[in-house]
């Protein structure tokens, strides 16, 4: 009976910890709540060659008649409670490893600059060679220009750490965010900066206001993605999300 009660307790802890993740508990899927403490939904075991469903057993200092009955059944059949307990331990180790792998993968995805940095999706200039608006000569444009109104919010395209935040005569007010793995995103010509060097930023967090500071012909955001210090087409990343 002690073995059976210990197994039930272990199963309860497993369901409470991983049930919401795996969706294995019907009550979790249907109501959004965890299984109440003190009962296990069901345990199917092969007893005497037949599948039998063990009904919820309440925890108490005194064994209930149901617990005594199940202990007697376990003792008279081939049901090995210790083997089942070891199997639950192995399942928990596997689930813990899978959860760690999932969190690592999710962190990698959250650090990819695929979030659109403005509410507006209207591009006025693309990546590559173009006619410079000031000189009229063909020059390489290392990012994309997105139209907007002065004061519109500018958002981080991914999780990361602010590497640079300041002003230059060409870039105006600008922010550079390091996303790790050699990826950085750059936001130029801001009217106002709302992120400081060293800040930890999450995707979609406001980092400034759209403007026309520096070498700019009008209100817009110059958005740039750097891959190992080389400018790459931001649309290769922004295409990972659905546009309006």
Whole-Å CA distances, 92 to 46, 95, 146? 22, 5, 48
Higher pLDDT, 3 or 208: 208
Tokens 């190992």 -> residue = 228
**Neighbour count for residue 25 (Cβ, 10 Å):** 20
Residues 127 and 234 both lie in one domain: yes
| pLDDT category of residue 230 using cuts at 50, 70 and 90 | very high
Res. 74 pLDDT band, cuts 50 70 90: low
State the Cα–Cα distance between residues 21 and 99, nearest whole angstrom.
9
Q: Give the pLDDT score at 135.
A: 84
Residues 137 and 45 grouped into a single domain: no
CATH number at residue 228: 2.70.70.10
Indicate whether 28 belongs to any domain: yes
Residue 92 pLDDT = 76
User: Are 80 and 169 found together in one domain?
Assistant: no
Last residue of a domain, one of 64, 89, 114: 89
Same domain, 76 and 157: no
**Are 180 and 130 found together in one domain?**
yes
Do 130 and 234 lie in one domain? The reply is: yes
Dihedral over alpha carbons 52, 56, 61, 67 (to 10 degrees): -20
User: 144 and 197: one domain?
Assistant: yes
Tell me what the mean pLDDT of segment 154-159 comes to.
Answer: 97
pLDDT at res. 36: 39
Of the candidate ranges 2-6, 61-65, 173-177, the one whose mean pLDDT is the lowest: 61-65
- Among 165-169, 176-180, 217-221, 237-241, which stretch is predicted with the lowest mean pLDDT? 237-241
| Domain end residue (candidates: 67, 89, 111) | 89
* Those residues with Cβ within 8 angstroms of residue 36's Cβ, 6 or more apart along the chain or in another chain: none
The string of pLDDT tens digits covering residues 176-206 is 999 999 999 999 999 999 999 999 999 999 9
- Classify residue 112: in a domain, yes or no: no
Same domain, 214 and 152: yes
User: Which tens digit of pLDDT belongs to each residue from 36-67?
Assistant: 333 333 333 433 444 444 334 444 455 566 55
Domain coverage including residue 28: 2-89
Task: Report the run of H or E that residue 139 belongs to, with start and end.
Answer: strand 138-141
CA distance 188 to 62: 71
Give the C-alpha separation, 195 to 183, whole Å.
18
For the stretch 78-137, pLDDT in tens is 556 677 777 777 777 877 787 788 888 888 888 999 999 999 999 999 999 988 888 888
The answer to whether position 94 is within a domain reads no
83 and 186, same domain (yes or no): no
Per the structure, the count of domains in the chain is: 2
The C-alpha atoms of residue 107 and residue 147 are separated, in whole angstroms, by: 30
Establish if 218 belongs to a structural domain: yes
Asked, for residue 182, whether it belongs to a domain, the answer is yes
Domain for residue 97, yes or no? no
11 located within any domain:
yes
The reply to whether 15 and 85 lie within a common domain is yes
Q: Is the pLDDT of residue 4 over 80?
A: no
Q: Is residue 128 part of a domain?
A: yes
Q: Which among 36, 70, 89 is the end of a domain?
A: 89
One domain for residues 65 and 135: no
Burial, 196: exposed, middle or buried (Cβ in 10 Å; 0-12, 13-18, 19+)?
exposed
Would you say the pTM of this structure is higher than 0.85? Answer: no
């Amino acid at each position: 009976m002690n073995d059976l009660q210990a197994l039930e307790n272990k199963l309860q802890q497993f369901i409470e910890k991983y049930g919401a993740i795996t969706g294995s508990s019907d009550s979790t899927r249907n109501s959004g709540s965890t299984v109440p403490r003190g009962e296990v939904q069901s345990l199917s075991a092969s007893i005497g060659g037949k599948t039998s469903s063990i009904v919820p057993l309440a925890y108490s200092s005194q064994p209930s008649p149901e617990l005594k009955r199940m202990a007697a059944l376990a003792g008279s059949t081939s049901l090995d409670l210790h083997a089942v307990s070891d199997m639950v331990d192995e399942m928990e180790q596997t689930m813990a490893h899978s959860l760690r792998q999932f969190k690592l993968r999710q962190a990698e995805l959250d650090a990819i600059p695929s979030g659109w940095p403005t509410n507006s999706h209207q591009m006025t200039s693309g990546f590559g060679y173009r006619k410079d608006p000031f000189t009229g000569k063909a020059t390489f444009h290392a990012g994309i220009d997105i139209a907007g109104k002065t004061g519109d919010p500018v958002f981080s395209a991914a999780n990361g750490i602010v590497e640079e935040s300041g002003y230059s005569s060409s870039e105006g007010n600008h922010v550079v965010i390091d996303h790790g793995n050699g990826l950085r995103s750059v936001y130029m010509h801001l009217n106002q900066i709302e992120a400081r060097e060293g800040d930890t930023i999450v995707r979609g967090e406001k980092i400034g206001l759209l403007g026309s500071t520096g070498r700019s012909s009008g209100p817009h955001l110059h958005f740039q993605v750097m891959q190992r210090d080389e400018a790459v087409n931001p649309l290769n990343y922004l295409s990972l999300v659905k546009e309006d």
